[in-house]
Amino acid sequence: MRCLTLVSFLTIVVETATFANPFTNGSFEDPIIQGGPDFATVPTGWVKFDPSGIGLFMQLDSSFGIPFVPANGHQSFGFGANGTTTGSLSQTFDTIAGERYLVTFQYLIQQGPEREALRLQFFNGPTSLGSLAISGFTNNTWSTASHSFTAQSATTTLTFSDQTGNLLPPVGGNTNWALDAVTVTQIPEPSNAVLLGLFGLACWTFRRALRDKPEAKS
């Protein structure tokens, strides 16, 4: 029993350290909006940079005929309204220095036939930890992309930006694109899993030996 209790404790410690304050609201379901495009509302947990004030927006998928995926909810985030081809959406969240994380997200074209471009970036303060650019996409059904980074401190900032004006000028002014289903997960360290596995095996062997030990006769 003591072995099992210790294994459970070690597992809780690892999980608590890894997921103490996870990335949130990656499906943009909070707050709930009534329609769209909604240029005034900012998704909870995120920071919007939209100098034009009319380029980035929350939206109901049904308002734009976007394919509904139950796991993603009913809302998504839009880029590129009213001819805008710049702007960004960021979130800063807790990480563990030296640990690797995987970011996965979905994106598609909405409203218009032109090509679009986006960039995913990771920052430790002002220092870049890497980026992923997707240029010239025209898909009108959800596509999935992912990229990993290694955290350098207790917090990391993730930023999605509209790069159509930078990577594809002069196209994209008549087309919007949507972002949804953003997730951030820690990539497990093999050493942790091996350690817990070996400790569990040792406990099981010890308990079995006690169970099979012949009882002393009086």
Mark out the alpha helices in 73-214 (DSSP H runs): 164-167, 190-212
Query: What pLDDT, on a 0 to 100 scale, did the predictor assign at position 36?
Result: 83
Domains belonging to the chain, first-starting first, are 21-188 (2.60.120.260)
Residue carrying the six token digits 């992912």: 146
More confident residue, 190 or 10: 190
C-beta of residue 98 within 8 angstroms of C-beta of residue 71: no
C-beta of residue 74 within 8 angstroms of C-beta of residue 29: yes
Ramachandran region, residue 111 (left: φ > 0; alpha: ψ -120 to 50; beta: rest): left
Round to the nearest angstrom and report the end-to-end CA distance of the chain. Answer: 27
Given a cut of 50, whether residue 11 has pLDDT beyond it is no
Given a cut of 60, whether residue 116 has pLDDT beyond it is yes
pTM for this prediction = 0.80
Query: What pLDDT, on a 0 to 100 scale, did the predictor assign at position 207?
Result: 64
More confident residue, 147 or 35: 147
Segment 152-172 mean pLDDT: 95
Lowest mean pLDDT: which of 18-27, 64-73, 153-162, 172-181?
18-27
Phi, psi of 51 (to 5 degrees): -55, -30
Query: Which of 138-149 are b and which e, b meaning 16 or more Cβ less than 10 Å from the residue's Cβ?
Result: eebebeeeebeb
- 67 burial type by CB count under 10 A (0-12 exposed, 13-18 middle, 19+ buried): exposed
